[in-house]
Amino acid sequence: MTVRTHALYQPWSVRNLELRNRFVMSPMTRNFSPGGVPGPDVARYYARRAAGEVGLIVTEGVGVDEQQAIDSPRIPVMHGDEAMAGWKAVVDAVHAAGGKIVPQLWHQGAMRDPDISDNPQWRGHRPSGLWGTVGNTSSPADYVARMEAPHAPMTDEEIADSIAAFGRSARRAIDVGFDGIAIHGAHGYLIDTFFWADTNRREDRYGGDAAARARFGVEIVAAIRREIGEDYPIFFRFSQHKQQDYDAEIATTPDELAAILVPLAEAGVDVFDASIRRFNRRVFGEEHTLAGWARRLTGKASMAVGGVGMNNWLRDMATGRGETLSVDNLDEVEQLFDAGEFDLVAVGRALINDPEWTRRAVAGEAFAPFERDRLARLE
């Protein structure tokens, strides 16, 4: 057992946020907040990871202040006094345990399933009314069948309302003590359906080339920056893959990716959270990872994710391909960090499995065996 001293295990800061190391709890929906309100069990769950020395917690996706932002009534929201009191208790518990925490603001858009919501009369917002061409997907067939039919594209008023909803929720989050804001711009949800040419066929200022498709996300970042000022960092999660099609792309070249990410950076993003199946996977050729490209193209910090501490990637586990195991792959994480591929490392399943995962990583201790049923519990 040798204490690890690599830069990954040392402090790092962005704007006024100081982290004790570069490990970040990846955003993970847990569905344990009835009525959208996170309770004491949610506070204990996050505080345990803070006590386990994770540098930063990004919460599960949290619905922004618009009724049709999310579907399940067990997903937490960032509006309403009851939910905000719940979040204040979460933030206080994390800070008391020595941790830092930012909420992942979420608008599900095309992926919102009216049938599991309390308000089935509201359909999820879609830039052009489309769910997306079904490709390599593990979404259940009955869900796809329900979602596939097109409906009305978002109106200008709906676009303006959704942007404002992100701004309001960011403000409320900062008011209860969150340390910054994370935005969910990935995986086929609302912002990502603007980036993706397949779902964005608009002929107005929000559609067209990559820069025009980025505009909705850019206006959200700008609204949040206006609301929260200059002290707090903004994290932005983006992805090539969609739940509608794992092989989909928002950009086919680094130049096209730059056309999306650079305006987001200029609007106020500090850290690009490059969501991908495995942290070491190269894109656009063999040279760089998605996080590596984001860092090089924007000059901002980036975060890698996918399979850190795990032998496989999430979808292999979800589709039952092979056994899912805890592994120590930190040597490879360190090598890619040294090659300048990212500044932060997000850890998902390994941190649900073991709240002490980061402390063990720092101490050079063996990791706990992976127990899949922990993903169904809030501990």
Per CB under 6 A, 305 contacts ligand FMN: yes
Q: Which is nearer to ligand FMN, 50 or 75 (CB)?
A: 75
Between CA 271 and CA 276, with CA 273 as vertex, the angle to 5 degrees is 160
Instruction: Quote the least distance from Cβ 177 to ligand FMN, whole Å.
Output: 21
Instruction: Quote the least distance from Cβ 27 to ligand FMN, whole Å.
Output: 4
Q: Which is nearer to ligand FMN, 8 or 350 (CB)?
A: 350
Q: Which of 28, 144, 222, 368 binds ligand FMN (CB under 6 A)?
A: 28
Per CB under 6 A, 33 contacts ligand FMN: no
Q: Which of 225, 237, 242, 295 binds ligand FMN (CB under 6 A)?
A: 237
Between CA 130 and CA 137, with CA 131 as vertex, the angle to 5 degrees is 150
Q: Which of 51, 134, 363, 375 binds ligand FMN (CB under 6 A)?
A: 375
Minimal CB distance to ligand FMN: which residue?
Answer: 348
Instruction: Quote the least distance from Cβ 149 to ligand FMN, whole Å.
Output: 25
Per CB under 6 A, 308 contacts ligand FMN: yes
Per CB under 6 A, 188 contacts ligand FMN: no
Kindly state the number of chain residues that form the binding site for ligand FMN, as judged by CB under 6 A.
23
Q: Which of 306, 342, 367, 370 binds ligand FMN (CB under 6 A)?
A: 306
Instruction: Quote the least distance from Cβ 314 to ligand FMN, whole Å.
Output: 4
* 115: CB partners within 8 A, 6+ apart: 146
* Stretch of 78-86, 165-173, 261-269, 309-317 lying at the interface with ligand FMN (CB under 6 A): 309-317
Per CB under 6 A, 348 contacts ligand FMN: yes
Per CB under 6 A, 224 contacts ligand FMN: no
How far is residue 266's CA from residue 131's CA, in Å, rounded to a whole number? Answer: 29
Q: Which of 20, 27, 65, 112 binds ligand FMN (CB under 6 A)?
A: 27
Q: Which of 26, 289, 298, 302 binds ligand FMN (CB under 6 A)?
A: 26
Per CB under 6 A, 310 contacts ligand FMN: yes
Per CB under 6 A, 60 contacts ligand FMN: yes
Per CB under 6 A, 10 contacts ligand FMN: no
Q: Assign 3-class secondary structure to the chain.
A: CCCCCCHHHCCEEECCEEECCCEEECCCCCCCCHHHCCCHHHHHHHHHHHHCCCCEEEEEEEECCCCCCCCCCCCCECCCHHHHHHHHHHHHHHHHCCCCEEEEEECCHHHCCHHHCCCCCCCCCCCCCCCCCCCCCCCCHHHHHHHCCCCCCCCHHHHHHHHHHHHHHHHHHHHCCCCCEEEEEEECCHHHHHHCCCCCCCCCCCCCCHHHHHHHHHHHHHHHHHHHCCCCCEEEEEEEEECCCCCCCCCCCHHHHHHHHHHHHHHCCCEEEEECCCCCCEECCCCEEHHHHHHHHHCCEEEECCCCCECCCHHHHHCCCCCCCECCCHHHHHHHHHCCCCCEEEECHHHHHCCCHHHHHHHCCCCCCCCHHHHHCCC
Q: Which is nearer to ligand FMN, 192 or 207 (CB)?
A: 192
Q: Which residues are catalytic?
A: 189
Instruction: Quote the least distance from Cβ 331 to ligand FMN, whole Å.
Output: 17
Q: Which is nearer to ligand FMN, 153 or 361 (CB)?
A: 361
Q: Which is nearer to ligand FMN, 10 or 329 (CB)?
A: 329
190 φψ region: left (φ > 0), alpha (ψ -120 to 50), beta (else): alpha
Chain contacts with ligand FMN (rule: CB under 6 A)? 26-29, 60-61, 104, 184, 186, 237, 275, 305-308, 310, 313-314, 347-350, 375
